[in-house]
Amino acid sequence: LQFQDSQSKIDILQSEVYDLRIVLQSADKELSAVKLEYSAFQEKQEKEMSQLSGRHMDVQFQLDSVRLEHERVLEEKASLQDDYDNLQEVTKFETDQLKQQLQDQEQEAKAMNTELCNLLKLLKTEKEHNKKLTLQLQEDKENNSKELLKVLEKAQVEKPSSEMVTQCQQQEAKLQKLEQELAAAEETIVSLKKTNNTDKEVVTDLMRQIQELRSSINHKNESINGLTRELEDINCKYNLVLAAKEESKRIIEDQGKKIEELRESLERRQIADNIERDLLCEDLHHTTDQLMRLTEASKKHESLLQCVQEEVTKKEALIQELREQLDKTTAELEMRKNEYELKMKQIDCFVDASSVTFPQCPKTPPKFDVNLAKLLETHEQEIAYRRASAINLEHLVHELNEERRVKNEEILRLKEQLSELENLRLEMQILVENNRNLQSLVEAQKLSKNSDQKHPDVQYLKEKEEEIAEERLAKNKAMEEMLKIKAELEKTKNTLKIKENACLEITLEMERTRALELKAFNEKEEIRSKLEETYEERDRIGKEMDLLRKQVDLLAEENGKLLGHQNLNQKIQYIVKLKKDYTKLSEETEKLRVENAFLKESKKCDVCRQHDQL
pLDDT in tens, 475-511: 566 567 666 766 766 776 676 667 666 656 656 766 6
The DSSP symbol for 105 reads H
Q: Is 367 left (phi over 0), alpha (psi -120 to 50) or beta?
A: beta
- Where is average pLDDT lowest: 165-169, 446-450, 451-455? 451-455
- Where is average pLDDT lowest: 4-8, 44-48, 439-443, 533-537? 439-443
Give the mean pLDDT of 225-237. 71
Q: How far apart are CA 34 and CA 27, in angstroms?
A: 10
pLDDT band, very low/low/confident/very high, at 212 (cuts 50, 70, 90): confident
Which domain covers residue 58, as residue numbers? Answer: 1-143+174-325
pLDDT of residue 130: 72
SS3 128: helix
Percent of the chain with pLDDT over 90: 0
Q: Is residue 486 part of a domain?
A: no
pLDDT of residue 357: 40
Query: Tens of pLDDT along 253-273?
Result: 776 677 677 777 667 776 766
Single-letter code of the amino acid located at 337: K
Q: Is residue 355 part of a domain?
A: no
Q: Which of 242, 243, 268, 257 is nearest to 523 (CA)?
A: 257
pLDDT band, very low/low/confident/very high, at 356 (cuts 50, 70, 90): very low
The DSSP symbol for 453 reads S
Q: How far apart are CA 457 and CA 471, in angstroms?
A: 21
pLDDT of residue 364: 39
Contact partners, residue 284, CB within 8 Å, separation at least 6: 31, 34, 35, 38
Q: Is residue 313 part of a domain?
A: yes
Give yes or no for residue 371 having a pLDDT over 80.
no
Q: What CA–CA distances, in Å, run from 474 to 51, 245, 392, 406, 430?
A: 57, 83, 24, 12, 14
SS3 content of the chain, % helix, strand, coil (to 5): 95, 0, 5
Q: Is residue 299 part of a domain?
A: yes
pLDDT band, very low/low/confident/very high, at 183 (cuts 50, 70, 90): confident
Single-letter code of the amino acid located at 472: R
pLDDT of residue 277: 64
Query: What sign does the dihedral 394-400-402-405 (CA atoms) show?
Result: negative
CB atoms within 10 A of CB 478: 21
Between CA 436 and CA 482, with CA 415 as vertex, the angle to 5 degrees is 100
Q: Which of 310, 325, 340 is the last residue of a domain?
A: 325
Percent of the chain with pLDDT over 70: 44
Distance from first CA to last CA of the chain, Å, rounded? 213
- On the 0-12 / 13-18 / 19+ scale of CB atoms within 10 A, 189 is buried
Q: Are 452 and 458 in contact (CB under 8 A)?
A: yes
Q: Which residues of 311-324 are buried (b: 16+ CB within 10 A; e: fewer)?
A: bbeebbeebeebee
Give yes or no for residue 5 having a pLDDT over 50.
yes
Query: Tens of pLDDT along 422-440?
Result: 555 565 556 556 556 655 6
Give the mean pLDDT of 500-527. 67
Q: Is residue 285 part of a domain?
A: yes
How many residues does this entry show for the chain?
614
The DSSP symbol for 360 reads -
Give yes or no for residue 135 having a pLDDT over 70.
yes
Give yes or no for residue 83 having a pLDDT over 60.
yes
pLDDT of residue 482: 62
pLDDT band, very low/low/confident/very high, at 181 (cuts 50, 70, 90): confident
Q: Are 462 and 452 in contact (CB under 8 A)?
A: yes
Q: Which of 325, 343, 370 is the last residue of a domain?
A: 325
Q: Which of 594, 583, 45 is nearest to 281 (CA)?
A: 45
Give the mean pLDDT of 124-144. 78
Q: What CA–CA distances, in Å, run from 586 to 127, 188, 469, 592?
A: 11, 11, 166, 10
Q: How far apart are CA 564 and CA 558, in angstroms?
A: 10
> Helix crossing, 2-158 with 566-613: angle to 10°?
10
CB atoms within 10 A of CB 248: 22
Between CA 212 and CA 217, with CA 215 as vertex, the angle to 5 degrees is 105
Q: Is residue 391 part of a domain?
A: no
Give the mean pLDDT of 103-111. 80
SS3 421: coil
Q: Which of 76, 56, 185, 65 is nearest to 133 (CA)?
A: 185
Threshold 0.75, pTM exceeds = no
Contact partners, residue 311, CB within 8 Å, separation at least 6: 400
pLDDT of residue 62: 76
Q: Are 87 and 548 in contact (CB under 8 A)?
A: yes
Element holding 230 (H helix, E strand): helix 161-357
Contact partners, residue 242, CB within 8 Å, separation at least 6: 77
| pLDDT higher at 287 or 594 | 594
Give the mean pLDDT of 27-55. 78
Query: What is the rounded average pLDDT for all residues in the chain?
Result: 68
Q: How far apart are CA 377 and CA 68, in angstroms?
A: 118
pLDDT of residue 360: 40
Q: Which of 325, 344, 375 is the last residue of a domain?
A: 325
Read off φ and ψ for residue 272, nearest 5 degrees: -65, -40
pLDDT of residue 453: 47
Q: Is residue 311 part of a domain?
A: yes
pLDDT of residue 355: 42
Give the mean pLDDT of 583-604. 75
Counting the structural domains of the chain, the total is 2
Give the mean pLDDT of 375-384. 60
Q: Are 284 and 35 in contact (CB under 8 A)?
A: yes
Q: Is residue 294 part of a domain?
A: yes
> Of the ranges 403-407, 451-455, 541-545, 552-556, which is most confident?
541-545
- On the 0-12 / 13-18 / 19+ scale of CB atoms within 10 A, 527 is buried
Give yes or no for residue 513 having a pLDDT over 50.
yes
- Where is average pLDDT lowest: 134-138, 258-262, 351-355, 423-427? 351-355
Give yes or no for residue 456 having a pLDDT over 80.
no
Give yes or no for residue 276 having a pLDDT over 70.
no
Q: How far apart are CA 49 and CA 42, in angstroms?
A: 10
